[in-house]
Structure 1
């Protein structure tokens, strides 16, 4: 996926002003990248909540907060 985005960026820099097709492909790549960032942020948030819940269950919530400092 990263290679795909790099290739799109290179093509856009090379002839993006001239080619509407490259502009469309670049735009789709940007949308896909933004969706991936959103998904990753959601995953991170969900994992942090699960970890906090586990720390609370074992009675070590203070350790959870100490590790995030």
Structure 2
């Protein structure tokens, strides 16, 4: 069994599969990172917009519907 695993992991096929799996994982993690940073930027922009409206904190939840009319 050990010889079979050693043969498979040392084969060109396994190296190619491993390379493409690593590339796919890297791209996936990069896209998830972009999404997360975009969410953080969006939240920051919302908070700064609400601060400029000079609303007290409890009214921030209702502010998006009110901000649409401004």
> Which TM-score applies when normalising by structure 2?
0.60
| Post-superposition CA distance 1:25-59 (Å, at most 9, x none) | 01000000110111111101100000000111112
| Correspondent of 1:42 among 37, 40, 58 | 37
Where structure 2 has 5 or more consecutive residues not aligned to the other structure, the ranges are 1-7, 63-70
Greater relative contact order (CA < 8 Å, ≥ 6 in sequence):
1
- Matched with 1:56 is 51
Where structure 1 has 5 or more consecutive residues not aligned to the other structure, the ranges are 1-15
- Matched with 1:30 is 25
Measured at CA, do residues 42 and 34 of structure 1 come closer, stay the same or move farther in structure 2, by a change above 3 Å?
A: same
CA drift of 1:60 comes to: 2.4
> Which TM-score applies when normalising by structure 1?
0.61
- Equivalenced residues, count: 51
